[in-house]
């Protein structure tokens, strides 16, 4: 099976914590419905290294002009969005949506989608309704005060919801069977060890 690419957009000031759960799950074949189906590639506006808000240096796997059709585009938050940067990636986001390929945006990246008109006509969320209203977008009537929202292949989340963001991403990619995904979410959201044992039971190899 040829691997499908999940693009993770990387840029200076990228918020490290916002995509960690999702990326780790996608890259770990354990318990997946189709292990190895996806491959994560970091995508930069150029091939130059970038530095996250946590001081981690990332060398992009591909630059914007090398992007091919993928399985998903993930857009982390970061200060660059509020500084009016990253506008080039929004054309790629539009192209993915038009091709029925999911995109996922969290925190400041949702403001980027709002400025691009991608949230005018579909349910969505962000850090706060007022945060998006400051962009001048026309989708305020569709705002939902939820940690994460999926609508028409567009996933949005607020900055304090990396686990919910990952849940929606993993569901969109059909990465796990539904009971496994629910147990995964319960474990990382609550820390209740009961979910760990549930995961062990759900993913144990069948007895011979």
Question: Which residues are identified as catalytic?
Answer: 107
How far does Cα 176 stand from its chain's mean position?
A: 16
What proportions of the chain, in percent to the nearest 5, are helix, strand and coil? 40, 20, 40
Which element (helix H / strand E) includes 167? helix 162-172
- Token readout for 151 is 């609508």
DSSP one-letter code for 52:
-
Distance CA 95, CA 174 (A): 22
Which element (helix H / strand E) includes 39? strand 38-44
Contact between 43 and 6 under an 8 Å Cβ cutoff? The reply is: no
Contact between 15 and 52 under an 8 Å Cβ cutoff? The reply is: yes
């Amino acid at each position: 099976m040829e691997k499908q690419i999940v693009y993770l957009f990387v840029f200076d000031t990228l918020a490290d914590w916002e995509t960690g759960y999702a990326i780790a799950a996608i890259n770990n074949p354990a318990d997946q419905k189709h292990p190895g189906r996806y491959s994560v590639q970091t995508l930069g506006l150029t091939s130059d290294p970038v530095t996250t808000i946590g001081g981690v240096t990332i060398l992009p796997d591909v630059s914007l002009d090398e992007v091919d059709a993928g399985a998903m585009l993930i857009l982390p938050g970061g200060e660059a969005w509020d500084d009016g940067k990253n506008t080039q990636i929004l054309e790629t986001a539009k192209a993915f949506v038009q091709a029925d390929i999911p995109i996922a945006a969290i925190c400041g990246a949702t403001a980027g989608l709002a400025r691009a008109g991608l949230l005018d006509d579909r349910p969505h969320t962000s850090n706060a309704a007022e945060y998006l209203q400051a962009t001048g977008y026309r989708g305020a009537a569709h705002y939902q005060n939820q940690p994460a929202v999926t609508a028409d292949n567009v996933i949005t989340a607020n900055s304090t919801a990396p686990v919910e963001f990952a849940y929606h991403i993993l569901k969109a990619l059909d990465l796990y069977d539904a009971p496994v995904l629910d147990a995964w979410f319960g474990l990382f959201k609550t820390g209740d060890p009961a979910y760990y044992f549930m995961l062990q039971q759900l993913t144990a190899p069948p007895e011979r």
